[in-house]
Amino acid sequence: MTADEIREKARRYLMPSVIQYYQEPVAVESASGLRVRDADGKEYLDFFGGILTVSLAHGEPNVVNAVKVQIDRLSHISTLYPNEPIVAVAELLAGMMPAETGISQSFFVSSGTEADEMAVMLAMSKTGRNELIALRNGYSGRSALAQSLMGHSNWRVLPQQIAGIKHAAQPDCYRCPFGLTYPNCELRCAKDIESLIQYTTTGEIAGFLAEPVQGVGGFVVPPKEYFEVAVGIVRKYGGLFIADEVQTGFGRTGEHWWGWQHYGVKPDIVTMAKGIANGLPAANCMTTPEIAKALPRQTLSTFGGSPVPMAAARATIESMQAHDVRTRNKELGAHLRDGLLALQAKYPHHIGQVRGLGLMLAIELVDDELVGNRTPNTAITAKVFEAAKRRGLLIGKGGRWGNVFRIAPPMLISQAELDEGLRILDASLAEAGAH
């Protein structure tokens, strides 16, 4: 099919609710390394990795081979029958959890939404309570529970909510919900959780679910003391801390395997998905044996931990370890950050902030009235986004107003490819009239 035929069939046979990027969506046909090709043969440099799922590179040979071998041997059987792929990944992941967390047991599912659902089930079972604290500007997925946990109006499809979930203020220093400035704010956003619990719950909470860096929210990095204070309050009221590592996991934020490790706290439950299997559908919820055994009944996810995605996950994780992606992402991330800061210096009226951790960086586009005006500028965002696509660069969008560019390329990107993408971004900003 040509790209036009694909787009036409997508319009006809996929529901209009299926979100697609760009005025004329890119009809992707194939991809290899950092390059994506559309059905008309146009090539793009991929700075978004299928929304942080293609964690290493497109078609990474170790993962492709592992999938081919596994699909010939056993493609599916369900978790009713333990098999080597699933236990091998569970063992690898247990080894990636810092010992002091005590986290060693896995429940595999197929999506981040399901992983977060499992985490909530565990927290409720362990505590015998139902109320939860989540964050404004957080994203948790698309089930009824995940939508209720989410503090992101763009993604709320229906008004119906699951009761008992309260949303604490977003820990966003660029747009402080209290109009304060860090560090003079004395972590008001974190401390406010105590008031939220006291005023809006029974005081007996099951847990607190948060992303160490708010992904869909626009790569918002909470201040470094945030989680120590927030989790301290949550524990005081008997709640568990669920770290949603769906975007931040697997070394993405540099230096550590997990995002929470940047903050000196330890979670009780961890969820992961996206990059776990270099693009194959797999996800996982991990916790301690003590919390795991609190679930009163046995349960099943039909495709959870299926052998082919698990073989991909094993090869992905082993490649991540072999490439030392934690160090690599820290170093490449520093290089990318420098490049984005140089763009901010060149376009100070429109690039309001450069932020993120490791190889998970964002720029927020704001109004051009005067430097320091933080009004979201969606018009210029749209122009730069389309220009970058025309010039052959795929990037992500995010943030409450969709005025944030999210850059999280596959981790095996080279410095030369990062520089190439930065040049395209520069030219796209100039074309869109940024200054």
Ligand X SMILES: Cc1ncc(COP(=O)(O)O)c(C=O)c1O
Strand partners, 108: 284
- Of the two residues 215 and 254, which places its CB atom closer to ligand X in the complex? 215
223 contacts ligand X (rule: CB under 6 A): no
Binding segment for ligand X among 108-116, 123-131, 260-268, 299-307 (CB under 6 A)?
108-116
Residue whose structure tokens are 């793009």: 44
Q: Give one DSSP letter per residue of 407-418, joined into a string.
A: E---TT--HHHH
358 contacts ligand X (rule: CB under 6 A): no
247 contacts ligand X (rule: CB under 6 A): yes
Counting Cβ atoms within 10 Å, is residue 49 exposed (0-12), middle (13-18) or buried (19+)? buried
408 contacts ligand X (rule: CB under 6 A): no
134 contacts ligand X (rule: CB under 6 A): no
Q: Which residues contact 238 (CB under 8 A, 6 or more apart)?
A: 127, 129, 204, 205
* Tokens encoding 339: 């490049």
d(CA 73, CA 43): 35
Q: Which of 50, 141, 358, 410 binds ligand X (CB under 6 A)?
A: 141
112 contacts ligand X (rule: CB under 6 A): yes
Shortest Cβ 113–ligand X spacing (Å) = 3
Q: Which residues contact 87 (CB under 8 A, 6 or more apart)?
A: none
Q: Which residues contact 42 (CB under 8 A, 6 or more apart)?
A: 392
The site for ligand X, by CB under 6 A, has a size of 14
Q: Which of 46, 117, 131, 244 binds ligand X (CB under 6 A)?
A: 244
Q: Which residues contact 96 (CB under 8 A, 6 or more apart)?
A: 257, 258, 317
Residue 377, CA atoms < 13 Å, CB-side half-sphere: 27
117 contacts ligand X (rule: CB under 6 A): no
Distance from chain centroid for Cα 18: 19
Q: Which of 60, 172, 211, 364 binds ligand X (CB under 6 A)?
A: 211
229 contacts ligand X (rule: CB under 6 A): no
Contact 387, 205 (CB under 8 A): no
Binding mask 267-286 for ligand X (x = CB under 6 A): ------x-------------
216 contacts ligand X (rule: CB under 6 A): yes
55 contacts ligand X (rule: CB under 6 A): no
* Tokens encoding 288: 């301690």
d(CA 148, CA 160): 8
Binding segment for ligand X among 63-71, 244-252, 326-334, 379-387 (CB under 6 A)?
244-252
- Of the two residues 359 and 387, which places its CB atom closer to ligand X in the complex? 359
- Of the two residues 32 and 302, which places its CB atom closer to ligand X in the complex? 302
- Of the two residues 108 and 139, which places its CB atom closer to ligand X in the complex? 139
Interface residues with ligand X (CB under 6 A) are: 111-113, 116, 139-141, 211, 215-216, 244, 246-247, 273
